[in-house]
Every structure is written in structure tokens, then in C-alpha cells.
Amino acid sequence: MSSDWTGQQRYDNTLQYLKSVDNELGKHVDETVLNGEDKGKIGEGLSLQGHKMYAVFGSKPVGRAVRALLLCQRAYLGPHWGKSRTGAGDYRKPNGPTLTKNQYLGKSEAVVQDAIRSYVATTPTTFTLADVAEDVGGGVSGLDLPWETLTRAQNPFPSGLVCFNALLWWLYKSGFVSLRWLARDGGGIGAENANELLGNGTPVTRTTLAATPRGMMVNWRGANDANSGICHWAVSLGDGYAVGANNSGGGRLNGKDVMVTFRSGGGAFGVFKMEDMWDVYSGDKTYHPKIGRSEFVVATIDPATVPNRSSGKK
């Protein structure tokens, strides 16, 4: 009987179950979760005994799955793993374990396993990142969802006001990155390190930009130390247009105004012509006064090549 287990026995049983769902995730959780505590103490915290309704409506397989999900949360949502723009990131709610137990009470084991697999990256085969970006759109900025119940099926879905923040949520929902990646690499992303975390990609020319395949990430950025923090991220729709958030509406090139053509939406969120954004970045936006010219790169990045997209950066 699980109610008679020691904390160590409950931890071991939960880890065994987690490895049966995804072996790599189980091993990584076992390496990450300790944070100065012994496994027996952690195992005590995985008990469902305090939630009486599980004895009525629950089942042993669902109970094991919920404990495995709680163990994932213990490993990845706290500040020993999570990152933010200013340092450690704590994505836990004070009542997170209770929220989790309530959320999955009466659900099937398969539903809980899907939540566990949100901590693992996949490679979609029936849709692209562009499909997700179009479907989610600008999302709901400022949506304060508990990460303990956040899955890829979440509706409404979060977004971000900055181009790469919106992209992170699209990457997660599509499966290209995991929730543990989102808490660590995604939590600490900024203009200055976005390429380190998302990839540098393959440079393209203005002529070839329009032919970028649907679902590829596109990155416009400065190409020297003085303007490397200037960047924009979007997702190609495969027809010369891209979908993105916080889009520039225009700029100056060779002393003249250049405007970005939007097929729909606008600066906050919209679908724009990629060649127009090229012109913006080839002008004053990336101009370097010391060298007397603009220096910039436009590159395409396959979302399946995001570094450490399942495990998160060590």
C-alpha cells in the first residue's frame, strides 16, 4: 500500500513511473530535483493522502501519474532551475501542488501523461510553427496562468509583448521546446542573448528571403558589438510574409522613409512583408557611426535546431 511507504520508497516508485513515460526526463529530474534535500524528504511531499477525494475518485495509475507530474514541477519550476532576466526565476504558485491535484482529479492517466510530456520537446510532423503562430496569434498578454497546470493544450494561451517572448510561447505550444526549457532558457532570454539560446541560423540574402519555407524562424539583427542588441524575430509563412509581435512599422534607408507592409494586424502583432523588414534593418536602425554604415544579418533558423530544446541549458 502506497500509504505505508517511506518517503524514499514513494520517491523511487514515482521516479520509476516517470522513467516509463520518458526515460530521459526521469533521469534528468533525478539529477535536478534535489536542491539540498534528500530524496526521502521529497518523497514525503509527493503523497496524495492529504487530498481525500483521490481515495474516492482517483485510481492508482492516475495517482502515480500525478505524483510524477508533481516531481517534475519540483525539479523545474523553482529558482534552483528557473531563470529570469534578472537572475533566478521562480514559476511556482504557493498552492501549486494543490492546484495540480485538483486539476487532474477524475482525469484519465493519459491526460496526466500529456501534462508530464510538456516537459519534453517533440518534433511536429503534421503542422508547423507557423500554424501555431497563426492559431494563437498575439495570445493573451499578461495572462497569469499557474505553470503547474500549463500544458500545450491551454486555451486561452499566453503570449508576450516582445517579439522573442511571443516566439517562445509558440515554440512551446508547438512542441519544439519543453516547459523545462521555457523555465530556464526562455525565462532568461533577452535581445543580447537570444541567438545564444535560439541559434544563429543560416544567413540569407534579400533575394532569397522571400523563399524561406513556412515554419522557419527568421531573425533580423545587428552584426557588430555596437548594435548586436537590435533584433527582430518572426516566423515565415512561406509566401514572403512572416508573422510576429512587436513589429517595426518602418524606418529610414538612404535618407528616405521605408514602410513595412502589413497584410493583417500591425506593430503589436501582425503579418508583414519580410523584404520590407529587411529594408528597415539595412538602414538607420543598424547604422554604426564609427564605421559609417549599417551592419546587419538576416538569418533563418529551423525550430527543430534550438539548442537544448528539451532539457534546457545546463
Q: Which domain holds residue 93?
A: 1-120
pLDDT at 288: 82
Instruction: Say whether both 141 and 46 belong to one domain.
Output: no
Instruction: Say whether both 144 and 289 belong to one domain.
Output: yes
- Which of 104, 120, 136 lies at the terminal end of a domain, its last residue? 120
Angle at 133 between CA 127 and CA 136, to 5 degrees: 110
Instruction: Say whether both 258 and 276 belong to one domain.
Output: yes
DSSP H helices, 77-128, are 96-104, 109-117
pLDDT at 234: 98
Instruction: Say whether both 163 and 103 belong to one domain.
Output: no
Count of structural domains, the chain: 2
Kindly list the averaged pLDDT for each block of 10 residues, start to end, along the chain of length 314.
81 97 97 88 88 66 94 96 93 94 91 97 92 88 84 88 93 97 95 94 97 97 85 97 97 95 96 98 89 91 97 82
Instruction: Say whether both 165 and 37 belong to one domain.
Output: no
- Which of 120, 146, 174 lies at the terminal end of a domain, its last residue? 120
Amino acid, single-letter form, for residue 70 = L
pLDDT at 69: 98
Instruction: Say whether both 129 and 105 belong to one domain.
Output: no
- Which of 63, 96, 120 lies at the terminal end of a domain, its last residue? 120
77 φ/ψ sector (left φ>0, alpha ψ -120 to 50, else beta) = alpha
The pair phi, psi for residue 28, each rounded to 5°, is: -70, -40
Least Cα distance to 251 among 232, 265, 235 occurs for: 232
pLDDT at 153: 92
